[in-house]
Amino acid sequence: MRSLYAMLGSVVTIIASYLVVYILIGIFYFSKFSPQETFSPGFLVYATGIIAFPVLTILVSIIYFKWYGNINVRGIAVGGVLGLWLYTLVNEYLFRFVPYSAFIQIMLDCIPLLLIIIGYKFVTHKLSDNKVKFTLLGMAIGWVVTYAAVIGMRAAQNSLTSYFHFDTFEKSIVLGVIAISGVAGWLLSKNTKKKIIKS
């Protein structure tokens, strides 16, 4: 699990960091350009982020793996996964009920990093690793199953135009199943623990 936590922790760390860095770039760099001029620098930043993502992920995962005992990598992984789930959920629905605000969007983009910090602080080694593993496994299975189901449904309807862009209904299905399967994993871990104790 050490290598898995290291890899998962590095992925969520890079994504969360990218969201925050993009905020800072928008404030201190994009603000120098007019709206008509932001396409080129925006594309450059986006392309750089895509290219750098796998390199940074590998480097950070190596750091997390090597210093696993000194860094709460498990807390980072758990907090990051929950943060990205919450970020996707809130970002999808919030502005349907309130007017769009650049300030609110900045706050939303900070959610994954904030949850990583909270996870690092509160998901300690005292928390049962069995519960964490089953919860993350449940969420992963839920994501894979619903992702495949949505892609399969699109292919059957001959409407498969993208493997990554989901509409609101499709995102709702994926996020809902992830949450349910995560809770199911947590409950399963408790039942498994009880059976082990009884045996």
pLDDT tens for residues 78-88? Answer: 999 999 999 99
Kindly state whether residues 196 and 174 are assigned to the same domain: yes
Last residue of a domain, one of 124, 143, 177: 124
Tens of pLDDT, residues 43-65: 777 888 889 999 999 999 999 99
Residue 54, judged by CB atoms within 10 A of its CB (0-12, 13-18, 19+), counts as exposed
Kindly state whether residues 150 and 119 are assigned to the same domain: no
What pLDDT is recorded for position 16?
95
Predicted structure pTM score: 0.82
Cα-based angle 177, 180, 184 (whole degrees, multiple of 5): 130
Q: Which domain holds residue 61?
A: 1-124
Domain count, the chain: 2
Kindly state whether residues 94 and 44 are assigned to the same domain: yes
Half-sphere exposure of 196 (CA within 13 A, CB side): 7
Among 2-16, 27-41, 176-190, the range scoring the smallest mean pLDDT is 27-41
Kindly state whether residues 119 and 162 are assigned to the same domain: no
Share of the chain above pLDDT 70, in %: 85
Kindly state whether residues 102 and 143 are assigned to the same domain: no
Tens of pLDDT, residues 135-175: 888 998 998 999 888 888 877 777 666 666 788 888 888 99
Last residue of a domain, one of 73, 94, 124: 124
